Amino acid sequence: MNIYNDADGVELGTVNNEEVLQLLECPVCLDHITPPMKQCIKGHLVCNECFPRLPHCPTCRSPMNQERNLAIEQIARLLKYPCRYYPMGCREAFILSKKGAHEQDCPYLQLKCPFHGQCAFNGSLKDVVPHLASEHAVTPVPVQPNGTLFYRAKHFYRRNIWTLIYQWDGNLFRFIVKHVHSSAIGRNENCNMLIAHVQYIGAESMASRYAYQISLFDTDSRQTGHKFEGLVTSTMKPLESQCSKEADIFVTTFHQAKNYTDQWANLNFIITMKKLEEDLATTPSGSTTSVTAPTPMESTPSTSSSTATPTPAPTSTPAAPVASTSS
């Protein structure tokens, strides 16, 4: 990378980007140093992550300095840094102002297994489908273009978690249903709860492009419960941490949910996916504005046996895959 070429006709030469990065290597963790640039009183640099743990300089044993090296910070912003997923195979490099955006969507972003919480898998998005097939005998369920999917959570009274992996709009998603106690998700109801959510398997920046609608479905009466609308989040974000009152996660009591189980003790869901970027509207001035995000509609906990007032199902429901899993 050429930082300077000439000044007033005087040839100043070039500076090699890689050589400068080698000078900006933390002597403790060996990672590249990025702003804020921490240093000892003699000017030896360390990264911001290692600095709080150092009683003295690892290079010269001098005391550490609380002042930042602002000149080196300005130079660092001119350099290209390799992607953090370089060890996994990414060969891209960016200036610091663009590096973070790339890493959020990097093809080599490291993901945990979306199907089984105890699985040791840690790999890139392209490795997820082969892993599911080889280790869990799971193939993502293809969902029709309109985004509608019927899901049957089997054996409602005998299990605590259900997971469905499906494919829609060219991307992978996970529908997850869990039995939890209210205290585990920071709620005050003091009862068993049922939570359900749709997650994008991959980066959060991609997840934010999608929303979903789910409702419980009574197969005997052919009626649905209240429709819940939420925003899709990434599987990189723990589910339980998103269960606040304002969260985009379906939350209801165990008591209410069991009223929608069928004669085989299965709990049935209707899921409808939605792509938010299709909801862009153009204002008279020509500017583009997005439609307001879905508002969460939470089932109200109740101590009685009554449920939310069901609404009749459509007389002709479009055909959609019916999915269930053994997870």
> Which pLDDT belongs to residue 5?
53
> Which pLDDT belongs to residue 17?
92
Going from the N-terminus, what domains does the chain have, and what CATH number goes with each? 6-104 (3.30.40.10), 140-314 (2.60.210.10)
> Which pLDDT belongs to residue 42?
95
For 153-197, the pLDDT digits (tens) are 999 888 889 999 999 999 999 999 998 888 877 777 888 888 899
For 127-142, the pLDDT digits (tens) are 999 999 999 999 999 9
Amino acid type, 231: L
* Mean pLDDT for all residues in the chain: 80
Cβ-contact 103, 85 below 8 angstroms: yes
pLDDT band at 303 (very low <50, low <70, confident <90, very high): very low
For 23-43, the pLDDT digits (tens) are 999 999 999 999 999 999 999
CB 257: neighbour CB atoms within 10 A? 23
pLDDT band at 72 (very low <50, low <70, confident <90, very high): very high
238, exposed or middle or buried, with CB in 10 Å at 0-12, 13-18, 19+?
exposed
Tell me which of 320 and 204 has the higher pLDDT. 204
Distance separating the N- and C-terminal Cα atoms of the chain: 51
Tokens of 229: 């609308």
Tokens of 289: 């504005």
From residue 66, give the alpha-carbon distance in Å to each of 74, 81, 239.
18, 25, 38
Tokens of 63: 């005391």
